[in-house]
Homo-oligomer: A and B are copies of this chain.
Amino acid sequence: MLDFITLCDYFGTFAFAISGIRLAAAKRFDWFGAYVVGLVTAVGGGTIRDILLNATPFWMQQSSYLIISGLALLFVIILRKYVVSLNNTFFIFDAIGLGLFGVVGIEKALTFGFPMWVAIVMGTITGSFGGMTRDTLINEVPLIFRKDIYALACVLGGIIYFLCLKINLNPSITQFIAATSIFLTRVLAVKYHISVPVMKGDDN
């Protein structure tokens, strides 16, 4: 039976893939191109993390991620008219995925023996570099650099994870608190339009 974490992982993957496929559709990519962009959005962050950790990329060890990205493609093609009305649902799935991917990235780095500050970076890369690669592929300036709090939610979640470890909380509770804090940061940032200040250009 699928456990709760695996379910969150799959729904998060689905939501990430949907976001890539929809942006590819807006740029009139063909079905195959849209699939690749969806897949890169879903697995790109974790792949960059695994390459940096010198681990075998996670999606090469079980085919679920390629299949879920394929289902996301079919979903967008067949239910195109209803996709827009599901925006809020996708947003929630995406935020759940962000929370989970962030925590997975932190824990994988710790398992490989890296210190906490590397783990926080890896959590952030896992959650946000898929979207960054997606935007580079469709030839846009990455959204995560310009809008809302996204990657920063993973940094915050990483710090909370670290604090939970410091006070010797149970591992499952630590995971839950860190993932929830990423999820809530993301949701509240969008709801209340909280964002990071924008840089000012110099006079050059």
Task: Fill in one digit per residue for A26-66: 1 if any B CB lies within 8 Å of its CB, else 0.
Answer: 11111111101100000000010001101011001001001
In the docked arrangement, what's the CA distance between A204 and B33, Å?
20
Partner of A121, one of B37, B66, B117, B200: B66
Given A118-B60, A137-B136, also A30-B146 (CB < 8 A): yes
Chain B residues contacting A145 (CB-CB under 8 Å) are 24, 29-30, 32-34, 36-37, 137
In the docked arrangement, what's the CA distance between A77 and B51, Å?
33
Chain B residues contacting A203 (CB-CB under 8 Å) are 81, 84
- Confirm or deny: A5 has a beta carbon within 8 angstroms of a beta carbon on chain B: no
Given A84-B203, A202-B25, also A142-B137 (CB < 8 A): yes
- Confirm or deny: A138 has a beta carbon within 8 angstroms of a beta carbon on chain B: yes
Closest beta carbon of chain B to A32's beta carbon, Å: 5
Number of interface residues of A (CB under 8 A): 59
- Confirm or deny: A6 has a beta carbon within 8 angstroms of a beta carbon on chain B: no
- Contact, CB under 8 Å: B137 / A139: no
- Contact, CB under 8 Å: B199 / A60: no
Chain B residues contacting A141 (CB-CB under 8 Å) are 27, 137-139
- Contact, CB under 8 Å: A199 / B77: yes
Chain B residues contacting A121 (CB-CB under 8 Å) are 60, 66
In the docked arrangement, what's the CA distance between A142 and B134, Å?
12
- Contact, CB under 8 Å: B30 / A202: no
In the docked arrangement, what's the CA distance between A80 and B200, Å?
8
A positions within 8 Å CB-CB of B: 21-22, 24-34, 36-37, 47, 51-52, 54, 56-57, 60, 63, 66, 76-77, 80-81, 83-84, 87, 114, 117-118, 121, 132, 136-142, 144-147, 151-152, 195-204
